[in-house]
């Protein structure tokens, strides 16, 4: 691991992401900023235009070059055609085309065609000084990166997270991991899975938080046990409204709370299921107790952490297999010494230790979740102790610097591989 403050020897790097900037991917932006601060010149490659109207403060600190690829090929046919003309004679083009055709035979979708077209454009337009490509997410960004690396004879690497691990076909995970120089993932849960496809290729690198860039925890949270109707206890959840977050389970659990507990639930985040969740809350008669904040920037989110009494993340494994990795929101809540309730699913138990740093409940179990909410609502001291212990664990074991050092060390080794052909890659 590199010492504090040291930088990788690579000069320029392309980082490929699905969209930039995005409110739901603060951890990626923080990583980009840290790599930038190490002295590496970065070009961010985005597969789509931004959709969020707000940005986090960290985005304003990033000075990287930014290249948007054609989100839909039919909207920029001339750009795609000119790119193909420019790169079709490259030595790696036939190999890349063969790889893409095999992929397309197994996945004959419009998305697969789009990734090939985006790879043509990236191959034609990327600064030739950039020798290494680094993709965030193992699905579509890694596909574009993989094809581009083959076409242009560049090396590449990938960071895998959650949905991209569990919804990418096994054949595709195996072939991408065998092709890339190195991979990292943000939980042991994900690492153990990926390591079966290409043993030794993937490393564990927790995201962690840069506590120096975040507000300190509030010095005091008022004692509140929800006994006064005029002063409800505040529950908070932060996350996109998608099935794997389990917010429908939480709504059902909230409907089971007895009337003698006065509460309010605040939800922060956008997402495709938001309308459905609002309708479900109305069906349960909860609409007057819920505040839907929508997508918020980091300052707004931390204001909610600081004013809440309990943070709740009721994650599940969705019907399609999608699931969380280790969501940064539980670490953000911990940074504010906020007591957390979460489902014991995926990698959440890698951070939350039941009854020591938080409370874990079985997933898909509204009754168990409701009981945990009731018990912790009535015990202010326990909530305080769990929140303090959660912060101590975050500070001791989930340092942002440690994860960044793993990335920088890999980039340093990779630069040696690019410049000196006698240097072997080390995983």
Structure tokens at 27: 């951890």
For residue 365, what are its two tokens? 């179990």
Do 357 and 269 belong to one domain? yes
Cα pseudo-dihedral 70, 73, 78, 79, rounded to 10: 30
Q: Residue 427 falls within a domain, yes or no? A: no
**Whether the predicted pLDDT of 403 surpasses 90:** no
Q: What total of structural domains would you count in the chain? A: 2
What is the rounded average pLDDT of the residues 113-122?
Answer: 98
Q: Is residue 297 part of a domain?
A: yes
Query: What's the pTM?
Result: 0.87
Pick from 1-5, 92-96, 261-265: least confident: 1-5
Average pLDDT, the chain: 92
Check whether residue 156 and residue 246 sit in a common domain.
no
**279 and 239 assigned to the same domain:** yes
Query: Are 190 and 268 members of one domain?
Result: no
Q: What is the dihedral of CA 16, 17, 22, 23, to 10 degrees?
A: -100
In sequence order, what are the beta bridge partners of 384? none
Query: CA-to-CA distance for 260 and 324, rounded, in angstroms?
Result: 34
**Same structural domain for residues 176 and 71?**
yes
- Could you give the CA distance from residue 91 to residue 103 in angstroms, rounded to a whole number? 20
Residues 171 and 306 in one domain: no
Residues 354 and 412 in one domain: no
Residue 310 pairs with which residues in a beta bridge? 235, 339
In a domain? residue 7: no
Residue 6 lies inside a defined structural domain of this protein: no
CA separation for the pair 305, 300 (Å, rounded): 9
In this structure, the answer to whether residues 161 and 240 fall within a common structural domain is no
| Neighbour count for residue 303 (Cβ, 10 Å) | 13
Query: What residue numbers bound the domain in which 393 lies?
Result: 212-397
Could you tell me if residue 248 is inside a domain?
Answer: yes
The answer on 227 and 131 residing in a single domain is no
Based on the fold, state whether residues 196 and 230 are members of the same structural domain: no
Whether 416 has a pLDDT exceeding 90, the answer reads no
Confidence of residue 9 (pLDDT cuts 50, 70, 90): low
Q: Give 146-180 pLDDT, tens digit per residue.
A: 999 999 999 999 999 999 999 999 999 999 999 99
Q: Which CATH number covers residue 59?
A: 3.40.50.2000
User: Measured at the alpha carbon of residue 355, what is the angle toward residues 351 and 356, in degrees to the nearest 5?
Assistant: 60
124 and 240 fall within a common domain: no
């Amino acid at each position: 691991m590199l010492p504090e403050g040291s930088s990788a020897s690579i000069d320029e790097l392309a980082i490929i992401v699905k969209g930039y900037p995005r409110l739901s991917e603060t951890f990626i932006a923080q990583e980009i900023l840290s790599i930038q601060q190490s002295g590496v010149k970065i070009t961010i490659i985005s597969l789509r235009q931004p959709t969020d109207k707000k940005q986090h403060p960290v985005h304003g600190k990033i000075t990287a070059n930014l290249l948007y690829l054609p989100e839909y090929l039919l909207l920029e046919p001339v750009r795609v055609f000119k790119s193909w003309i420019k790169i079709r004679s490259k030595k790696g083009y036939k190999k890349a085309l063969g790889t893409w055709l095999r992929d397309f035979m197994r996945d004959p979708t419009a998305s697969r065609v789009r990734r090939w077209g985006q790879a043509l454009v990236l191959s034609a337009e990327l600064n030739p000084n950039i020798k290494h490509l680094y993709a965030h997410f193992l699905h579509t960004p890694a596909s574009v990166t993989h094809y581009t690396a083959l076409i242009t004879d560049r090396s590449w690497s990938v960071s895998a997270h959650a949905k991209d691990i569990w919804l990418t076909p096994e054949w595709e995970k195996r072939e991408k991991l065998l092709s890339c120089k190195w991979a990292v993932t943000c939980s042991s849960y994900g690492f153990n899975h990926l390591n079966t496809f290409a043993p030794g290729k993937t490393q564990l690198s927790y995201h962690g938080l840069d506590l120096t860039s975040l507000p300190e925890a509030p010095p005091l949270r008022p004692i509140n046990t929800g006994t006064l109707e005029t002063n409800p206890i505040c529950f908070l959840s932060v996350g996109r409204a998608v099935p794997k977050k389990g917010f429908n389970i939480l709504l059902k659990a909230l409907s089971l709370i007895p009337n003698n507990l006065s509460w309010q639930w605040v939800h922060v985040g956008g997402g495709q299921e938001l309308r459905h969740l609002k309708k479900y809350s109305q069906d349960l008669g909860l609409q007057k107790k819920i505040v839907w904040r929508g997508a918020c920037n980091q300052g707004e989110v931390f204001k909610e952490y600081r004013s809440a009494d309990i943070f709740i993340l009721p994650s599940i494994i969705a019907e399609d297999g999608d699931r969380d990795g280790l969501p940064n929101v539980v670490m953000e809540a911990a940074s504010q010494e906020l007591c957390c309730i979460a489902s014991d699913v995926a990698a959440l138990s890698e951070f939350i230790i039941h009854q020591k740093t938080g409370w874990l409940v079985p997933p898909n179990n509204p009754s168990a979740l409701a009981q945990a909410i009731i018990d912790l609502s009535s015990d202010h001291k326990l909530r305080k102790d769990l929140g303090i212990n959660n912060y101590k664990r975050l500070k001791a074991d989930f340092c942002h610097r440690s994860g960044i050092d793993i990335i920088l060390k890999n980039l340093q080794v990779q630069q040696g591989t690019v410049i000196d052909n006698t240097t072997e890659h080390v995983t």
